[in-house]
A and B are shown apart, each in its own frame.
Chain A
Amino acid sequence: MTNSINEIEQAQVILVSGSNTTRTHPQVARRFYRAVDRGAKLIVIDPRRTRLARHAHIHLRIRPGTDIALLNGMMRSIIDENLIDDLFIQMRTENYTTMRDMLFGIDLAQAAAITGVPEKTIRRAARIYAQAQRSVICYCLGVTQHIAGTGNVQSYANLAMLTGHVEQEFTGVDPLRGQNNVQGACDMGALPGVLPGYQSVFDDAVREKFARVWGVELPATPGLTLLDMTHEAGGGATGLPQAAPAIRALYVTGENPLLSEPSLNGVKKAFHQYDFLVVSDIFLSETARVADVVFPAASFAEKTGTITSSERRVQLMRKAIEPVGDSRPDDWIVMELARRMGHAMDYTSPAEVMEEICMVTPIYGGMYHDRLDREWGVQWPCGGRNMEGTQYLHKYSFARGRGRFEPAAHVEPAEVPDSDYPFALITGRFYFQYHTGTMTRRTPILERESGQPLLEMHPDDGRRLGLRPGSVVTVASRRGRSRFVVELTDRVAPGNLFTSFHFAEAPVNELTIDASDPVARCPEYKVCAVRLEEVEPC
């Protein structure tokens, strides 16, 4: 997030896209409601009529995967009505003329046809967003989990820059992060292309710096993403270059790709090819079951360390109890493996690891444990021990200097409904469950509230097919099939279905497609074409 969570309360317009915020980020949703109570306008972009969408002033109910068309339409309308922020564009951005020329080619009637949102509504939403002093954009995986995910994100950035809605308090572009430390895992360089602090592995000077600290030469060859590691090498659909080396051994910590990755049949094939699989987890997950070695890991209550939230707040997680049974924290496991492979990592505590992180990671320069222990965490960037954290980003300049407009064109989802597979399936999360359910499904109260793999279907579709709430249906895509329990609700539009990936007994990722964004390698979890096969009325 460029802003802090609390800033959202002061926004005048909140544009939420692809986020079921009341369910997945309840604390952020609280701020939305508080802002609305203070008079803010709420605009929701979502194919589903979520609870937040019901409370929105404007709900732009787009057809799945048409964000770019909508945003280009909104931006065209903003230019038409001269609501752009000239000064901001001139002082802080580049490539505007290309952007403007592209927008002059946009036809609002066509945008309305692609998205399914009336032209008038697009214009009204654009006007509200552009005219306010403090407009904030919050988005989540509904924006990124598309083959055009990068274009989607860039379009939201274009919209914010066009209207000057960044660089100040209470206004910015805020991706909401789904896991407690997904921000931190990215910050720490658990990504193929970057070292800690987003320092590129392809930059010689950066590699040299880390080589000095770590005492070894570092590889400059591009690494594989999770999608590429867990799908058959060279598989056509993933678009992997044929020359890429096949993975022969995989070390997985606290992840469950055999339930969470798209197109599970492909994942199973890849896992079958590995010579060696080691999994570190707190439970015997679907992935751990097929491992050669399983390490019992300590849970969040049994170890000390820092985690980083959506708003870049680095906080200390404190050990409450000793590890259960003979489980051990992952840092201990990694250090033991490193020692046995001839590269001693002699850290005596997580605090000492953090000292090294502070040294090599400019944005984490001041994140010492003793300091974090005394405060409610510190928001990066924070350059040194005596420096303050950062409440919001891009104050006087963007990280790269000038913000660059990146025009994007609408791209149809990789698979759209047709006569054979007439429904568009959207995947996401339920309120009481979380991800592959390894934790929540073992929590009795949560499992009691939501223990069934529900499939949301519009009542009109249900009536047409003779289905009632509780009917069990088999849903099939071109890649696999899975069984769900029908819930009839107008949260989904006619022709759309929604379900989640929490349930091992109904793995929705048997159905999903492994087509992905070519830049971010983010799979298109949000749209695939399916049909109903067997139907058992209740």
Chain B
Amino acid sequence: MRDVLTVCCYCGCGCGLYLHVRDDRVVGSSPSRNHPVSRNNLCVRGWNAHGFIHDAGRLTEPLVRRNGRLRPATWDEALQITADALARVVHEHGPDAVGVVASAKCTNEENYLLQKFARAVLGTNNIDHCARL
């Protein structure tokens, strides 16, 4: 069993918690004793922050819509179809016809790359996330 110190994935309090890992599965979470915010305390969501990680419904492979239905595809196919489609829309309708929705669940680094992708690669300021809910 390994314990990995990380930060809770739910609200904006930013509690420090340990994820307990056994055989590459996260099997539990518990508060960090010395963390300045959580101070050995978590709410019910924090105690269960690991609960959805190995849910059977997790997406484990890319999906592409073919004949109206989402079908498994390789990463290469899914990425290339997306890159081609975005490039086509930019070419035909201009960059402002594409929107990017970043995520308050993604890291700072990922959000930085997403807004850079929108502005530097697509050429649009149509980038936002769910800051208002």
Contacts and interface: CB of A to CB of B under 8 A. Distances in A.
A191 B131 CA distance: 9
Interface string B10-29: 11111110010100111000
Contacts of A179: 10-12, 104-105, 130
A308 B132 CA distance: 17
Contacts of A315: 7, 14, 16
A211 B131 CA distance: 26
B97 to A, nearest CB: 4
A354 B107 CA distance: 11
Given A182-B130, A214-B116, A326-B60, A310 B13 contact: yes
A2 interface: no
Nearest to A252: B101
Interface residues of A, number: 144
A508 B46 CA distance: 26
Given A223-B127, A260-B133, A300 B11 contact: no
Interface stretch (A110-118, A396-404, A434-442, A485-493): A434-442
B59 A331 contact: no
Residue with the greatest number of chain A CB neighbours at <10 A, chosen from B2, B70, B104, B112: B112
A249 B114 contact: no
Contact of B133 (A210, A278, A301, A525): A525
Given A5-B37, A27-B43, A179-B12, A354 B109 contact: yes
A281 B102 CA distance: 11
A432 B50 CA distance: 14
Contacts of B54: 324
A307 B14 contact: yes
A247 interface: yes
Interface in A317-350: 317-322, 324-331, 333-338, 340-341, 343, 345, 347, 350
Contacts of B132: 144-145, 225-227, 520-523
A224 to B, nearest CB: 5
B121 A341 contact: yes
Nearest to A364: B108
A183 B130 CA distance: 11
Given A248-B98, A284-B57, A314 B86 contact: no
Given A276-B89, A314-B108, A180 B9 contact: yes
B85 A336 contact: no
A179 B11 CA distance: 4
A283 B14 contact: no
Contacts of B10: 179-180, 434, 439
B78 A293 contact: yes
A347 B96 CA distance: 27
18 contacts: A5-B36, A181-B104, A181-B108, A190-B115, A226-B128, A248-B92, A251-B82, A253-B100, A253-B110, A255-B101, A282-B59, A313-B14, A320-B6, A324-B60, A326-B62, A341-B122, A440-B45, A449-B44
Interface of B: 2, 4-16, 19, 21, 24-26, 34-38, 41, 43-45, 48, 50-55, 57-65, 70, 73, 75, 78-83, 85-87, 89, 92-133
Interface of A: 5-6, 24-28, 30, 141, 144-145, 176-193, 195-196, 201, 210, 214-216, 218-219, 221-227, 229, 245-255, 257, 260, 275-276, 278, 281-284, 288-289, 291-297, 299-311, 313-322, 324-331, 333-338, 340-341, 343, 345, 347, 350, 353-354, 356-357, 364, 376-377, 431-432, 434-435, 438-440, 442-446, 449, 501, 520-523, 525
Given A308-B108, A325-B59, A434-B45, 8 more contacts: A184-B104, A189-B111, A218-B120, A221-B96, A249-B98, A253-B101, A435-B133, A439-B51
Of all A-B residue pairs in the complex, the 9 with the closest CB atoms, nearest first, are: A325-B60, A309-B14, A305-B107, A223-B125, A443-B51, A254-B103, A177-B12, A296-B59, A190-B102
